[in-house]
Structure 1
Amino acid sequence: MRDIQHFVNGQTLVGTSGRFGDVFNPNTGEVQARVALATAGELDAAVQVALQAHQGWSATNPQRRARVMFEFKRLVEANMQDLAELLSSEHGKVIADSKGDIQRGLEVIEFACGIPHALKGEYTEGAGPGIDVYSMRQSLGVVAGITPFNFPAMIPMWMFGVAIAVGNTFILKPSEKDPSVPVRLAELMMEAGGPAGVLNVVHGDKVSVDAILQHPDIKAVSFVGSSDIAHYVYSQGTLAGKRVQAMGGAKNHGIVMPDADMDQVVKDLSGAAFGSAGERCMALPVVVPVGKKTADELRERMIAEIETLKVGVSNDAEAQYGPVVSAAHRAKIAEYIQIGKDEGAELVVDGRDFKLQGYEKGFFIGPSLFDGVKPGMKTYHEEIFGPVLQMVRADSFEEALELPSKHQYGNGVAIFTRNGRVAREFAARVNVGMVGINVPIPVPVAYHTFGGWKRSAFGDTNQHGMEGLKFWTKVKTVTARWPEGEMADSSFIIPTMK
């Protein structure tokens, strides 16, 4: 059986803990590999390597760092098919979705290629008599990312792309469920010219997470995962004096106004709710049709649309989505479906009994649709993270606006309408961090920034774009005077700019 090891200092590092995690093939349900789980000591060894590498990397001029990013981008694109197949074999998403995962990560790498321009500081000439003031952004040192299973390429690149480009060295702790692609990305970074120790991959579980949060030489931590763990990472990391951004769960709503293009809405909801088996923090698992006529039409059309969906193995080019990541996660989704039914919601389409011929042991679950879901229900309050669409009916725009605004999560939301005034008012008033107008999954482009509100995000700085650059750097401000002639008399008061 294949063992997946750590990648430290530009080479494979064989784990010594004796602890391993199983890596499954979600299509067959079989264990295909083991991943080494690090000790705190192994994490420390990686940090020491990164500390040493930071001395040279941070002193490398931004243009040369950008050249490494350009070459890394080229290498990832050249290896796109192999990376996508490797990703799908461990995660379960179909190949096309895996390529999308990689491509969205590469878009942040493209932003990082422009880091020389983004790092330019501010300068004021003549702020006082013979005094100039300027600021510069400098790297933090060794930083870390803790990433989830659902985007094993995109989210690591969201983090390390900007962090490394600005001069930091990086410790990546990917999900132990699908760890191979992060290792391959680190190998490609070395091929691109990144010095050894600039990007290190340390596998692990809570032992590794706690070691990262407690290590005095790790200056910043970025995390994506469930909200409970995000809160833990944020509270423990900040308690240790680190800069932390921790992105949590979601329960994104799609508001369907009576004037919406229903043909487009049905297609958008199908992809946003069921694509990647619903294992996306920006999936759209709640639809809120406004008015009975809208709701009744949407219900019937969604039933018909679900009947056309094909669930298949990851390498089936005709499949819309594949299996979920693990048997435990499949069981959790099925449990939520039963809870929703017990709570009194109408289970219109039940996907729990889905079986794929020839792959009966795979972690497959069919699409499910609920109607009559109410805000007080557990299944509405919590994140299911599976191919389950819940319909919450609203009688008015104000009622529909209130639902996502009052929910505990505030990651993303969408409104479907032809009315510009309604869309504008919704975007201005809704209490959610990312808004789509006739866009079901409003993930911003790489040169903007990604981040939710409420229990969807902890910390005050978002991911990628200029917000990402600010997170991974610290500002130094210099006030300079070059006096002429004799030294001026010492001053015993706070200097002013008179």
Structure 2
Amino acid sequence: MPDELAVVNHWIDGEEFVGSSGRTAPVYDPARGIQTKNVVLANADEIDRAVASAKAAFPGWRDTSMARRQQILFSFRELLASRKAELADILTSEHGKVLSDAAGEITRGLEVVEFATGFPHLIKGDYSENVSTGVDVYSTRQPLGVVGVISPFNFPAMVPLWFFPIAIAAGNTVVLKPSEKDPSAANWMAELFTEAGLPDGVLNVLHGDKQAVDGLLEHPDVKSISFVGSTPIAKYIYETAARNGKRVQALGGAKNHMLVLPDADLDLTADAAVNAGFGSAGERCMAISVVVAVEPVADALIEKITQRMAGLTVGDGRRNCDMGPLVTEVHRDKVSSYIEVAIEDGATVVVDGRDIEVDGEADGFWLGPTLIDAVPTTSKVYLDEIFGPVLSIVRVKSYEEGVALINNGAYGNGTAIFTNDGGAARRFQNEVEVGMIGINVPIPVPVAYYSFGGFKDSIFGDTKAYGPDGFHFFTRQKAITSRWLDPSHGGINLGFPQN
């Protein structure tokens, strides 16, 4: 590759650290289809250096007053809010999502930063006085130490922001391993946090591939691992980290269904299906990938979805487009291959996104919105997490058949029901075996003061992400039983206190 390509280096101990492994990976501009950067890939020495920096910073950060930690978090929040346009440009240039979607991603991440600023209330303990004569019991929550965060390519800003602000607020130090496909956002946020006053070593960015991941999973000084990604990798992360004695939260894949009842507002439903199916080119773990239509609504709903798809513009996210490219050529080709699988399995391709006109460079990693009807539930198109702009229609005869279809799936991340029947909606939220549920809301990502996570093969480990679960994950509780004896009393009693 040309020597003039920019290099994305690690961020260790409060500054850029030039890697010495000699290994790099290409970073592309997906809308142009060209390599724009190289990112360094860590070796064992660099993994140890990042962890050692976090370990050295931990005692001082743990003992920093809550007031000071809170001030730094507020400062980081203000800087991020004022400069989010810079970060959005980075996201679009490396991931490909349109600028408005990139800005929305940052806004959702900011919500978690804002939630984290209230950490003194969220990590305070309890106190019970005089539980036995002269005996008090109280609890404290304390940080774990060095924690590892491994984040995916589809949300280079938001997913790291789900974890490191909460971990840092609670008094931990962090080693963040972002995706090598779009690594620059992590460095930008770490540098911004340093500008906000975060001490050196509290937040480190380690770039790499499987070697870096395994290094964090196995390192004895890393106390916990937080991960978001595909289910096979989430399961591997969970099993490997747990085997090495770590606390783990590993969020896996999804196959999210939208159940549409005959009484639903089909215009609202069609809008929602298009927004949730094709936003961010379908590269969302909360994307709707299957519309489960309770007959007789399927034909009318498909007509309305098709009309809306005809108005979408696919192109460079820096232009006035609705949907950008996929993140890499390899991923684009994998997603595209499912369209041929659908044809072979007897489904009907209503809208084929393989041959589209785009508002962008010809070499971009393009695949247009695709709609497939009558997808067999035995097809890989239905079973696999495609992670692209492919929306499937499955027709069922009843509400009961639709819920059974959802509950029989391997995943349990997100789902939605569209109906005007409050009783049906209430029944659905009770009966469906999914962790995040939308009622006439297609992408039910919880706000920051709730917690994010699904059921079944969509989550492995101890807790969900952010919200109250986040603070519980990044702290451990001590219970203290205390007695200060009156000097006038004493004596020996080998039994438990009775009163």
Give the TM-score of the pair, scaled to structure 1: 0.98
Alpha-carbon distance, 1:64 to partner: 1.4
> Are 2:428 and 1:426 aligned?
yes
Q: Mind listing any 5+ residue stretches in structure 2 that lack a counterpart?
A: none
Distance (Å, rounded) in 1 between the aligned partners of 2:118 and 2:81: 18
Distance (Å, rounded) in 2 between the aligned partners of 1:497 and 1:64: 43
Distance (Å, rounded) in 2 between the aligned partners of 1:266 and 1:342: 27
1:349 to 347, 351, 358: 351
Q: Which amino acid aligns with 1:305?
A: R
Distance (Å, rounded) in 2 between the aligned partners of 1:464 and 1:363: 33
Q: Could you tell me whether the CA contact under 8 Å between 1:355 and 1:364 is conserved in 2?
A: no
- Secondary structure of the residue aligned to 2:211 is helix
State the percentage of identical aligned residues: 50
> Are 2:183 and 1:179 aligned?
yes
Cα deviation, 1:36-64, whole Å, max 9, x if unaligned, reads 00012211111111111111100012221
1:250 to 247, 254, 271: 254
2:409 to 390, 407, 410: 407
Q: Which amino acid aligns with 1:402?
A: A
Distance (Å, rounded) in 1 between the aligned partners of 2:457 and 2:322: 30
Cα deviation, 1:440-464, whole Å, max 9, x if unaligned, reads 0000000000001111100130000
Q: Could you tell me whether the CA contact under 8 Å between 2:282 and 2:390 is conserved in 1?
A: yes
Residue in 1 that maps onto 2:474: 472
> Are 2:296 and 1:307 aligned?
no
- Secondary structure of the residue aligned to 2:308 is helix
Distance (Å, rounded) in 2 between the aligned partners of 1:459 and 1:125: 35
Q: Could you tell me whether the CA contact under 8 Å between 2:314 and 2:359 is conserved in 1?
A: no
Cα deviation, 1:12-70, whole Å, max 9, x if unaligned, reads 00000000000000011100000000012211111111111111100012221111111
Map 1:452-467 to 2 at 5 A: 452-467=454-469
Alpha-carbon distance, 1:488 to partner: 3.0
Q: Could you tell me whether the CA contact under 8 Å between 1:38 and 1:204 is conserved in 2?
A: yes
- Secondary structure of the residue aligned to 1:152 is coil
Residue in 2 that maps onto 1:227: 231
Cα deviation, 1:306-356, whole Å, max 9, x if unaligned, reads 111111101113x11100100000000011111121111111111012242
Residue in 2 that maps onto 1:40: 44
Cα deviation, 1:64-92, whole Å, max 9, x if unaligned, reads 11111110010011111111011100000
Residue in 1 that maps onto 2:268: 264
> Are 2:87 and 1:115 aligned?
no
Distance (Å, rounded) in 1 between the aligned partners of 2:79 and 2:400: 50
Distance (Å, rounded) in 2 between the aligned partners of 1:404 and 1:69: 40
Residue in 2 that maps onto 1:164: 168
Residue in 1 that maps onto 2:133: 129
Q: Which amino acid aligns with 1:460?
A: D
Moved over 6 A (4+): none
- Secondary structure of the residue aligned to 2:313 is coil
Residue in 2 that maps onto 1:88: 92
Alpha-carbon distance, 1:489 to partner: 3.3
- Secondary structure of the residue aligned to 1:380 is helix
- Secondary structure of the residue aligned to 1:285 is strand
Distance (Å, rounded) in 1 between the aligned partners of 2:439 and 2:66: 37
Cα deviation, 1:414-473, whole Å, max 9, x if unaligned, reads 000111110000000101110000000000000000001111100130000110000000
Alpha-carbon distance, 1:116 to partner: 1.0
1:50 to 49, 54, 68: 54
Distance (Å, rounded) in 1 between the aligned partners of 2:438 and 2:21: 46
Q: Could you tell me whether the CA contact under 8 Å between 2:255 and 2:290 is conserved in 1?
A: yes
Does the C-alpha gap of structure 1 residues 357 and 96 become closer, same or farther in structure 2, counting only changes over 3 Å?
closer
- Secondary structure of the residue aligned to 1:366 is coil
Q: Which amino acid aligns with 1:351?
A: G
Cα deviation, 1:217-264, whole Å, max 9, x if unaligned, reads 000000001000000000000000000010011000001111111111
2:451 to 449, 459, 479: 449
Moved more, 106-115 or 57-66: 57-66
Distance (Å, rounded) in 2 between the aligned partners of 1:356 and 1:490: 85
Cα deviation, 1:118-163, whole Å, max 9, x if unaligned, reads 1111110111101110001000000010000000000001010100
- Secondary structure of the residue aligned to 2:162 is helix
Residue in 2 that maps onto 1:199: 203
Residue in 1 that maps onto 2:441: 439
Alpha-carbon distance, 1:492 to partner: 3.3
1:17 to 8, 11, 21: 21
Q: Which amino acid aligns with 1:172?
A: L
Residue in 2 that maps onto 1:3: 7
Q: Mind listing any 5+ residue stretches in structure 1 that lack a counterpart?
A: none
Distance (Å, rounded) in 1 between the aligned partners of 2:497 and 2:347: 67
Map 1:317-332 to 2 at 5 A: 317=320, 319-332=321-334
Residue in 1 that maps onto 2:291: 287
Distance (Å, rounded) in 2 between the aligned partners of 1:346 and 1:40: 50
Alpha-carbon distance, 1:374 to partner: 2.1
Residue in 2 that maps onto 1:65: 69
Alpha-carbon distance, 1:408 to partner: 0.4
Q: Which amino acid aligns with 1:303?
A: T
- Secondary structure of the residue aligned to 2:212 is helix
Residue in 1 that maps onto 2:375: 373
Q: Which amino acid aligns with 1:478?
A: I
Moved more, 27-36 or 55-64: 55-64
Alpha-carbon distance, 1:165 to partner: 0.3
Q: Which amino acid aligns with 2:277?
A: A
1:211 to 193, 208, 215: 215
Does the C-alpha gap of structure 1 residues 324 and 480 become closer, same or farther in structure 2, counting only changes over 3 Å?
same
Does the C-alpha gap of structure 1 residues 496 and 228 become closer, same or farther in structure 2, counting only changes over 3 Å?
farther
Give the TM-score of the pair, scaled to structure 2: 0.98
Alpha-carbon distance, 1:357 to partner: 5.7
- Secondary structure of the residue aligned to 2:396 is coil
Distance (Å, rounded) in 1 between the aligned partners of 2:343 and 2:198: 53
Alpha-carbon distance, 1:369 to partner: 0.5
Does the C-alpha gap of structure 1 residues 284 and 129 become closer, same or farther in structure 2, counting only changes over 3 Å?
same
Does the C-alpha gap of structure 1 residues 491 and 241 become closer, same or farther in structure 2, counting only changes over 3 Å?
farther
Moved more, 448-457 or 61-70: 61-70
- Aligned residue-pair number: 495
Residue in 2 that maps onto 1:106: 110
Distance (Å, rounded) in 1 between the aligned partners of 2:481 and 2:222: 29
Q: Could you tell me whether the CA contact under 8 Å between 1:127 and 1:497 is conserved in 2?
A: no
Distance (Å, rounded) in 1 between the aligned partners of 2:302 and 2:345: 20
Residue in 2 that maps onto 1:277: 281
